[in-house]
Structure formats: structure tokens, C-alpha cells
């Protein structure tokens, strides 16, 4: 799978794969397939749970490209301003 630069190493990508018997949904990570699900809803729920813990995003990929499903990426915390004591 060719990963676009917008997909980080922690992100998960849901891909629908047709077999001779059924349609299944495979959740991929950078290192390859992570797990298979029978329904899109199951794949989305499991991938979003992973992404929430990892601070990552979930994408759905098909022949049209990548679509963002959910994001748990947190912005860096702002540092409090230093107040000098005089």
C-alpha cells in the first residue's frame, strides 16, 4: 500500500477487500495488516479505539483515495508564559 505523506506512522487505514466469498474490512498500520473485520462498523470502531489511545488518525482508503474518518491528534500544549519576579 502506498501511504501518502499525510498519513503518519501511528495512523490506521481501513481497506475493503473482496474475497471469493465475502467483503471484509482490513485495518492496516505502517507495518502491514493489523486485523480483519466482517463489517465496516466493526473495523471503524476498533481502529478509532486504537487511534484514540495512540493520538493518531483513522483513514478509509479505496480507489478514489484516502478519506479521513477520525482524528485524535492533539495539538502541542501551549507553554505558560513566564512571569518574572521582581
pTM: 0.77
Question: Is residue 12 within 8 Å of 50, Cβ to Cβ?
Answer: yes
Query: Residue 37's pLDDT is what?
Result: 95
Burial (CB count within 10 angstroms: exposed 0-12, middle 13-18, buried 19+), residue 7: buried
Q: How far apart are CA 83 and CA 72, in angstroms?
A: 32
* Per-residue pLDDT reduced to its tens digit, 49-59: 988 888 899 99
- CB-facing half-sphere around the CA of 68: CA atoms within 13 A: 10
Domain ranges, ordered by start, for the chain: 12-71
* pLDDT tens digits, one per residue of 7-64: 888 899 999 998 888 899 999 987 767 889 999 999 999 999 988 888 899 999 988 8
Q: Are 11 and 72 in contact (CB under 8 A)?
A: no
Amino acid at each position: 500500500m502506498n501511504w501518502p505523506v499525510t498519513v503518519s506512522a501511528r495512523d490506521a487505514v481501513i481497506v475493503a477487500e473482496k474475497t471469493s466469498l465475502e467483503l471484509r474490512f482490513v485495518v492496516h498500520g505502517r507495518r502491514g495488516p493489523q486485523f480483519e473485520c466482517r463489517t465496516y462498523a466493526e473495523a471503524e470502531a476498533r481502529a478509532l479505539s486504537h487511534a484514540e489511545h495512540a493520538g493518531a488518525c483513522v483513514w478509509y482508503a479505496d480507489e478514489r483515495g484516502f478519506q479521513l474518518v477520525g482524528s485524535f491528534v492533539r495539538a502541542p500544549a501551549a507553554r505558560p508564559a513566564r512571569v518574572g519576579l521582581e
